[in-house]
Amino acid sequence: MKLALTALILSLASACAAAVGDECSSSTDCGRELVCDTSMPGGYCTRANCETNSCPEEGVCIEFPDQSRFCMLRCDSGSDCRDGYQCVSNWGDLPFCSAAPYSEAQTTPAN
């Protein structure tokens, strides 16, 4: 019984885990695998220094102009992004949710 209860608690905890793109105020809001980028409006759960295909299923690794790389929430349209964010689809199949507009010249996908 105790083992079953422990398994239930663990499965419920993982179901409530933060995802890439979630709002946060500190890294503790993002769980063990992600950090909170407080420079983004409302905070943004992400993984820093990502590599291609290293982001959680819902994320895509984006390289920014300063060569920093972050997992960003993948999207197909703006409705996939939370309020105040937009779906940036400047290239191929790597659209992501961002608070600021980016042009193709400003960002490149991490390869």
Tell me the per-residue pLDDT of 29-86, one tens digit each, with 9 for 90 and over. 999 999 999 999 999 999 999 998 999 999 999 988 888 899 999 999 999 999 999 9
Q: What is the count of structural domains for the chain? A: 1
- Does residue 71 form part of some domain? yes
Q: Regarding predicted confidence, which is higher, 44 or 6?
A: 44
Domain region containing 78:
17-109
d(CA 104, CA 107): 6
Tokens 């960003």, located at residue: 72
Q: By the 8 A CB rule, do 21 and 97 touch? A: yes
Q: What is the pLDDT of residues 87-109, one digit of tens each?
A: 998 754 589 999 866 554 444 44
- Does residue 9 form part of some domain? no
- Residue 8 pLDDT: 38
Burial class (CB in 10 A: 0-12, 13-18, 19+), 57: exposed
- Does residue 8 form part of some domain? no
Q: What are phi and psi of 102, to 5 degrees?
A: -125, 145
- Residue 60 pLDDT: 94
Rounded to two decimals, the pTM is 0.74
